[in-house]
Amino acid sequence: MPTVDLTPLTELIERLSRQHADLSAATAGWQARALQAEERLLQLAATIERDDDAPGSSVSVEPDDQEESSQRNAPVDSGGAWARLRRWWKGQTVR
């Protein structure tokens, strides 16, 4: 019976195993970064909520043209931290 050289197959399996380990480590790192970013966003949202509740915290914006004005004055979902974060961000970037 002829013998089959399995060396290339074993080398491929070893290479793919190393690549899998590298990708798993990179994934874990990105997941940790995502969790940190989420925590930071929640902190920012809490800060924004406190600022929204403060007296005199409204921001007035002068529109550059009619189209931008209609987009800025579009109804915004007033509930939730993400909506407050978007409103805050729009106020920071429009100035």
Average pLDDT over residues 1-8: 91
Q: How many CB atoms lie within 10 A of CB 95?
A: 7
Whole-number pLDDT of residue 73:
54
Domain of residue 19 covers 1-40
- Provide the whole-model pTM: 0.43
d(Cα 72, Cα 60) in Å, to the nearest integer?
11
Indicate the number of domains in the chain: 2
Residue 30, domain member (yes or no) = yes
Does 12 fall in a domain?
yes
Encode pLDDT of 7-63 as tens digits. 999 999 999 999 999 999 999 999 999 999 999 998 888 888 777 666 655 555 455
Residue 50 placed within a domain = no
DSSP-derived letter for residue 73 is T
Q: Burial, 72: exposed, middle or buried (Cβ in 10 Å; 0-12, 13-18, 19+)?
A: middle
The pLDDT assigned to 18 comes to 96
Burial of 48 (0-12, 13-18, 19+ CB in 10 A): buried
Q: Is residue 36 part of a domain?
A: yes
Q: Say which residue, 94 or 45, is predicted with more confidence.
A: 45
